Each structure stands twice: as C-alpha cells, then as structure tokens.
C-alpha cells in the first residue's frame, strides 16, 4: 500500500479507471450468469438439443424483465449513492 502514495495524480486516475472497468466487467458477468441461471430454471422444463417456440419466448421475456429490473435497481442505487455523497 505504501507504493500508492508514490503515484502521481494521473497514475492514480488511470488506476481508478482500470478498477472501474474491472468492476463493470465483473458486474456484467454476474448479470449474465444470474440471468442465465434464473431464466433457464424458469423456462426450460426438459432440456434437449433445441428450444421450442414457447421456451424461446419465455427466455426472451425473462431476459427482458431481468434486464429491466437490473437497470432499475442500478439506477436507484446510483441515485442513492449520489444523495449520500451530497450529504457529506
């Protein structure tokens, strides 16, 4: 940790940008993993070599709802963080 104090301002900014990118990638991976697990469990009753039309429709709708929910929660959480920062 002592080496962080030796970084210049631009190096710290670059490090923060890299961390933000890694967090964004991790969040996207988590979203895809959870969405896949939940929608598969909900929509695929008997796995086979292909999806029938009702399974395809269920998967599409499930993914849309999951993404909408994820976006809503993310937006509300972001707004809450902003409010908390403004209070400080």
- pLDDT at residue 2, as a whole number: 56
Task: Please list the pLDDT of the chain residue by residue as tens digits (88 residues).
Answer: 556 678 888 888 898 889 999 999 998 899 899 999 999 999 998 888 999 999 999 999 999 999 999 999 989 999 999 999 888 7
Q: Which alpha helices (DSSP H) does the chain contain, by range?
A: 9-43, 53-87
CATH of domain 2-87: 1.10.287.810
Where do we find the tokens 């999806």?
51
- pLDDT at residue 6, as a whole number: 83
Euclidean distance between CA atoms 12 and 8, whole angstroms: 6
Euclidean distance between CA atoms 25 and 13, whole angstroms: 18
- pLDDT at residue 45, as a whole number: 87
**DSSP 8-state symbol, 61:** H
Reported pTM:
0.68
- pLDDT at residue 13, as a whole number: 86
Domain ranges of the chain: 2-87
């Amino acid at each position: 940790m002592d080496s962080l104090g030796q970084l210049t301002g631009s190096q710290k900014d670059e490090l923060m940008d890299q961390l933000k990118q890694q967090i964004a990638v991790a969040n996207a991976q988590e979203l895809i993993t959870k969405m896949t697990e939940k929608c598969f469990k909900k929509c695929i009753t008997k796995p086979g070599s292909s999806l029938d039309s009702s399974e395809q429709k269920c998967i599409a709708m499930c993914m849309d709802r999951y993404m909408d929910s994820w976006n809503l929660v993310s937006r509300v959480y972001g707004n809450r963080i902003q409010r908390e920062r403004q209070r400080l």
